[in-house]
Amino acid sequence: MEENIRSFLKVLDPKDNSTGGGTASAVAGAMASSLVAMVARLSKGKEGLAPDKLYDETIKVAESLAEQLFNGAREDSQAFEAVSRAFKMPKKTDEEKAARKKAIQDGWVAAARLPLANAERCGLLLKLGERLTRSFNQNAKSDLDSAMYLVVAALLGCLANVEINVKSIKDKKIADDLLNQANALRKLLEGK
């Protein structure tokens, strides 16, 4: 948890260049998840709304996604740091050059896969939030609206990070697969 908080604080630090959009997007997704869980808790037991089972399920999934996205923010930051470290590896001998090249490519693949995983989590949250919009405590409307705005921004930000990092991946099959998955997730935003 402490390392997650450090990652979060790095997102807020305007002087830090190591924690970027992928981390910020995952944090936004975690905040959206927490808001969805809160709205579900505020809706539970209210007369004229859906059965409590819907809210209990929503709370459970949203809380899990919040934790996963918060952890995903830290992991995204670590993936970018690994790419930076790989570029600093020695490159005097053929062996060093080969090791450096492999580390860089492995780093870029991880740096694309992590925001893709976070985008998938945001996609699940988007669906969960949409389900909640059908029956919830109207006193929490601004909270649910905020959650939905945040999750759309989080999903778009995660996908942007996949797309930029894929450009550095030399293995076309891996790059194409990651882009295809990202494009499928982008379709969740049609009409939003």
Q: Tokens for 114?
A: 């992590």
Q: Residues 71, 124, 61, 129: is their CA dihedral positive or negative?
A: positive
Q: Tokens for 84?
A: 């930076």
The structure's pTM equals 0.91
In the chain, the percentage of residues whose pLDDT exceeds 90 is 85
- pLDDT tens readout for residues 110-120: 999 999 999 99
Contact 54, 148 (CB under 8 A): no
- pLDDT tens readout for residues 11-63: 666 676 667 899 999 999 999 999 999 999 999 999 999 999 999 999 999 99
Amino acid at residue number 99: A
Exposure string for 8-24, b = 16+ CB within 10 A, e = fewer? bebbeeeeeeebbbbbb
> Domain residue spans in the chain?
2-7+20-186
Q: What top-level class would CATH report for the domain 2-7+20-186?
A: mainly alpha
